[in-house]
Amino acid sequence: MNWETVIGLEIHTQLATQSKIFSGERTRYGAEPNTQACLVDLGYPGVLPVLNGKAVAMAVKFGLAIGATIERRSVFARKNYFYPDLPKGYQISQYELPIVSRGSVVIRLDDGSQKRVGITRAHLEEDAGKSLHETLKDRTGIDLNRAGTPLLEIVSEPELGSAAEAAAYMRKIHQLVRYLGICDGNMQEGSFRCDANISVRPSGDTELGTRTELKNLNSFRYVEKAIEFEIERQIDVLEDGGKVVLETRLYDSDKDETRPMRAKEEANDYRYFPDPDLLPLELDQALLDSIKESMPELPWEKEERFATDYGLNPVDIQILTASSEGAAFFEASAAGLAGNFELAANWNKGELRAALNRDGLTITDSPVGGADLNSLLRRISDGTISGKTAKEVFEAMWAGEGDADEIIEARSLQQITDVAALEKVVRQVVADNPEQAEQYRGGKQKLLGFFVGQVMQATGSKANPAEVNKLLRAKLDADEN
């Protein structure tokens, strides 16, 4: 039997605010346990939540970016359940009336095709704290620093048909939230996490199969592997005549398998109801307008502009616009290089990324900035140095020896473009190699490379190769006559 897979993703993005969603406590990662948990975060008797305006603005930004409806009136609800790292015994979330509904993004698949994926809703909620099961002997430790961190939960339609599509969608959302500056996207620190709802059904069936939920998939690779495993597992179960059980499963990356969670023995009944401590969130036009004006260029808008303005090919555009920082770097490096943008593209993809990877740096930490690289590329473009020499200059710039011109000057790396000086060398080289000159003239044109090499050696690689070629040809052809 042929099976069809249906996947929906719930992505939790931690919003990059300074303070928590309902309290004035900090949100920095990695603080000592419970040193960033104020009375509101701890759920002390008598304390009350007050909504962070920045978190609201960030949610609206996301909604505008995915072409969604921004609900002018949304409501916070309580999701009631007991867990030691949930201090109030309920999580404040949005249930019936979320702030963002009905949007979509387009994902690009490996075969180059595109697919539009619907986003059912995106809602604001608070994060829970952390339960540490391994830190203490015989006890579970509770750290509530994370409690109250603002989250935007982005819920896709069940429209993803494979693990690869799910991963592509997750990457697209990751790119978008980083473009918007609403999430740092750090998956190791849990700033961007994902749960997946997965079911399979016989191809052609219209009814959905029983789903399982995979929790906390915290890397793109795990998402793909975990979903692949789970699809196979469900198909095996069904083909053996069994039934898929509606349950929550955890992915074990060490064993590359999923297993059911043990804790939740009873079906959840979250008893959602509107949080009486919070009033309906009403957005006025002025606020929406000001957020609209602050919208950055979106990934797909940038891609389009890169094609128009720089004439780059789609693959290069994908690479260069993957992050807004990378794109900005490229644009700074390409300034004024009209007609030679490809040079900038190649350097961004090649030397720059290689150096970053080698030193484990992100583009924002690059010791050579976009404008620095631009001044180097201009020297290639105007013939001052060769591409090969430029690599040497780049390494020196990377090591902090100065800007491009200073290094070229200090190391005397300017190409010899003085025709008279070059002619002298060419004459000497041809005279020193009469045998090869004879063969060249006899038709062995490949020997031109030999002569070029000799000239470059004689000039310490500083000769302008194009000029050398021209002069050598002229000399060898002239001697024939």
Partner 1 sequence: MGLSKKDVQHIANLARLEVSDEQIDDYVEKLTQILDMVDALKEVDTSEVLPLAHPLHMSQPLRVDEPTEKNQRDLFQANTEHVEQGLYTVPKVIE
Partner 2 sequence: MDRLTVSQLSAGLRSGKFSSEELTRQSLARIEAANPSLNAFITVTGEEALTAARAADRKLASGNAGPLTGIPLAHKDIFCTAGTLTTCGSRMLANFVSPYDATVVSKLADAGVVLVGKTNMDEFAMGSSNETSYFGPVRNPWEVSRSPGGSSGGSAAAVAAGLVPAATGTDTGGSIRQPAAFTGITGFKPTYGRVSRYGMVAFASSLDQAGTLTITAEDAALLMEAMAGFDARDSTSADQAVPPYSKMLDESLAGKTIGVPREYFDDGLDPGCERAIRDALDVFSDLGAKITEVELPHLALSVPTYYIVAPAECSSNLSRYDGIRFGYRHPDARDIGELYTRTRQEGFGAEVKRRIMTGTYVLSAGYYDAYYLQAQKVRRLIRDELMRCFEDVDIVAGPTTPTPAFGLGEKIDDPVQMYLNDIYTIAVNLAGTPGISIPCGFSGTLPVGLQLIGPHFGEATLLNFAHRYQQQTDWHTKTPPPVSNDGAGE
Task: Please tell me whether residue 204 binds partner 1 under the rule CB under 8 A.
Answer: no
Closest CA to 4 of 113, 158, 116, 114: 158
User: What is the footprint of partner 1 within residues 24-83 (CB under 8 A)?
Assistant: 24-26, 32-39, 42, 44, 50-56, 75-76, 82
Buried b or exposed e, range 75-98, using 16+ CB within 10 angstroms? bbbbbbeeeebbbbebbbbbbebb
Token pair recorded at residue 295 = 């919208």
Q: Which two tokens stand for residue 218?
A: 């915290």
The gap between the terminal CA atoms of the chain, to the nearest Å, is 79
Number of residues that bind partner 1 (CB under 8 A): 54
Q: Which residues pair with 151 in a beta bridge?
A: 14, 125
Backbone phi, then psi, for 183, in 5-degree steps?
-155, 140
**Choice from 71, 126, 143, 331 touching partner 1 (CB under 8 A):** 143
Contact between 266 and partner 1 per CB under 8 A: yes
From the list partner 2, partner 1, none, which binds 204 (C-beta under 5 to 8 Å, kind-based)? Answer: none
> Judged by CB under 8 A, does residue 86 bind partner 1?
no
What the block records as the tokens of 359 is 């030193």
Shorter beta-carbon distance to partner 2: residue 42 or 458: 42
- Residue type at position 322: A
Which are the contacts of 58, defined by CB distance < 8 A and separation ≥ 6? 15, 16, 17, 150, 152, 180, 182
Q: Which does 78 bind (CB under 5 to 8 A by kind): partner 2, partner 1, none?
A: partner 2
CB of 42 to partner 1, least distance (A): 6
CA-based nearest residue to 87, from 123, 44, 56: 44
Starting at the earlier edge strand, list the strands of the sheet with 247-252: 69-70, 100-108, 114-126, 150-156, 3-14, 192-202, 212-215, 247-252, 257-260
Residue entry with tokens 């490996």: 110
Min dist CB 18 to partner 2, Å, is 17
Q: Tell me, what DSSP letter sits at residue 349?
A: I
Residue number, 34 or 439, with CB nearest to partner 2: 34
Please select the residue that binds partner 1; options are 110, 138, 293, 435, rule is CB under 8 A: 138
Report residue 257: phi and psi, to 5°: -155, 165
Place of tokens 């603080």: 31
Of 273 and 419, CB closest to partner 2: 273
Least Å from the CB of residue 278 to partner 2: 5
190 in contact with partner 1 (CB under 8 A): no
Distance CA 460, CA 117 (A): 57
Question: What residues numbered 447-466 form the site for partner 1, per CB under 8 A?
Answer: none
State the nearest-atom distance from the C-beta of 231 to partner 1, in Å: 23
Site string for partner 1, 214-253 (x = CB under 8 A): ------------------------------------x---
Minimum CB distance to partner 1 smaller for 143 or for 165: 143
By CB under 8 A, name the one of 69, 140, 290, 364 that touches partner 1.
Answer: 140
The CB-of-84 to partner 1 minimum distance in angstroms stands at: 5
Tell whether residue 278 is a contact of partner 1 (CB under 8 A).
yes
Give strand pairing partners of 124.
152
Site pattern 315..344 for partner 1 (x: CB under 8 A): ------------------------------
**Binding-site partner at residue 280 among partner 1, partner 2, none, CB < 5 to 8 Å by type:** partner 1
- CB closer to partner 2, 142 vs 344: 142
Residue 356 CB contacts under 8 Å (≥ 6 apart), including other chains: 362, 363, 366
CB of 193 to partner 1, least distance (A): 16
Contact flag: residue 276 with partner 1 (CB under 8 A): yes
CA 369, distance to chain mean position in Å, is 19
Task: Report the residue from 132, 164, 295, 319 that binds partner 1 according to the rule CB under 8 A.
Answer: 132
Phi, psi dihedral angles at 435 (to 5 degrees): -60, -50
As measured in angstroms, the least distance from the Cβ of 82 to partner 1 is 5
In 3D space, the residue among 198, 234, 200, 236 whose CA is nearest the CA of residue 217 turns out to be 198
Classify residue 111 by its DSSP letter.
Answer: T
Cβ distance to partner 2 smaller for residue 90 or 440: 90
Amino acid residing at 64: L
Q: Name which of 90 and 347 has its Cβ closer to partner 2.
A: 90
Q: Site residues (CB under 8 A) for partner 2?
A: 39, 42-51, 78, 80, 82, 84, 87-90, 140, 142, 269, 271-273, 275-279
Residues that bind partner 1 (CB under 8 A): 17-19, 23-26, 32-39, 42, 44, 50-56, 75-76, 82, 84, 131-133, 135-136, 138-144, 250, 261-263, 266, 269, 271, 274, 276, 278-282
